[in-house]
Chains A and B, each alone.
Chain A
Amino acid sequence: MKLTPRQIGSLEEASRGGVLHLEAARNAAADLGCSLMEVERAALSRGIWPLRLHRHEGLLSPDEQLRLLSSRVVVAGCGGIGGNAAVLLARLGIGYMVLIDPDRFQESNMNRQSFSSVRTIGRYKAEVLAEGLSGINPAADFVPVTRRLEESASCFRGADLCLDCLDSISSRKALSEICRKLEIPLIFGAVSGLCAQVAVETVGQKIFQSLYPGGSRHERDRDRPEAVFSFTAGAAAVLQAAVAMKLLTRGISRGESRGMFLDLEVPELEIIMFP
């Protein structure tokens, strides 16, 4: 957004002490006739931090934070991993997120899934998540998609990054094919019991086969899903969010893939290098 000198003056006036309070940003957006996101981007491009994100100062440069605000991320699956990962990315300041999940919350989700509660049972996970996230980052856009993954390929266009937070090996394969076709880097995330696995598939690489050499032959029955704790799903989400932050702020190199396998029983973390 191109601001006039008067508008820059009013933005700087609103951001006393080098930080921009949400209320002042909202007032500035109303005065300038633009969105809250546009005001926050304009502020960051002048080195002024939105107060909501101010604790990132020192960890991220204003330019890196601006990149996160301008990033578009697809979260495929809004269950145990996806809900947690989406919350972490929203708090990181990601400006645009597509949230894909055709399921509605049910009682059995309550041991691990963000926003699953007695108040949300029966509602679409993607819609509940989008509502919750807009309270965490009111400047960002959250787009819920309640169609099946296979019918949602059009929602991936223009994405900078995709997070795999799905719950089956066969749907992961479909997701990796969509991302490969559209040249979107993909961060796989999966859990089982006390183990969490995260791996990055950059553009031009094929690591699905390396993660699941047996394909979906040994897929668990939908009626007998993986046993999992809240903290294992949360740990996978934490690893994915940390990798996403690094990839989005420092750039994504082609052909540089790594994986992590976390076993919380011991606990231990193994790093896997993909050729």
Chain B
Amino acid sequence: MKVRVRLFGAFRQGRFRDKILDLEAGITPSGVMESLGIDAGKAGIIMVNSRHASLDRALSEGDILAVFPAVGGG
């Protein structure tokens, strides 16, 4: 299935900003991050189709997944 994946901040380094990926059906945001070599523990906000979503939500064909790094400085 095709999912549009958008990466933000430091997650873009050595990867991409915005790309349509062909992924196995039912993959979760955690699974997508693992396949991209992103440490899920460093993730902050996860968004599917412009709404916040959990790391273990099953993605569907045509979804737009956005992955933001955890931001903690002040």
Contacts and interface: CB of A to CB of B under 8 A. Distances in A.
B45 A197 contact: yes
Contacts of A270: 8, 47, 66, 68
A212 B70 contact: yes
Interface class of chain A by DSSP: mixed
B27 interface: no
Interface class of chain B by DSSP: mixed
A213 B46 contact: yes
Given A80-B74, A168-B72, A213-B46, A192 B9 contact: yes
B73 A191 contact: yes
A57 to B, nearest CB: 33
Given A165-B74, A167-B74, 20 more contacts: A80-B73, A81-B74, A189-B74, A190-B71, A196-B71, A207-B52, A211-B44, A212-B70, A213-B55, A213-B70, A214-B42, A219-B72, A220-B72, A261-B45, A261-B71, A263-B9, A270-B47, A271-B50, A273-B51, A274-B51
A214 B70 CA distance: 8
- What 9 A-B pairs have minimum CB-CB distances, sorted nearest first? A226-B73, A167-B74, A214-B41, A197-B71, A190-B71, A195-B9, A192-B71, A169-B72, A273-B51
Interface of B: 8-10, 39-47, 50-52, 54-55, 66, 68-74
Given A261-B8, A273-B51, A195 B40 contact: no
Contacts of B45: 197, 199, 210-211, 259, 261, 272
A235 to B, nearest CB: 12
A217 B69 contact: no
B74 A169 contact: no
Nearest to B17: A266
A185 interface: no
A214 B74 contact: no
Contacts of A226: 72-73
Interface residues of A, number: 44
Residue with the highest number of chain B CB atoms closer than 10 Å, among A77, A82, A225, A261: A261
A211 B74 contact: no
Contacts of B10: 192-193
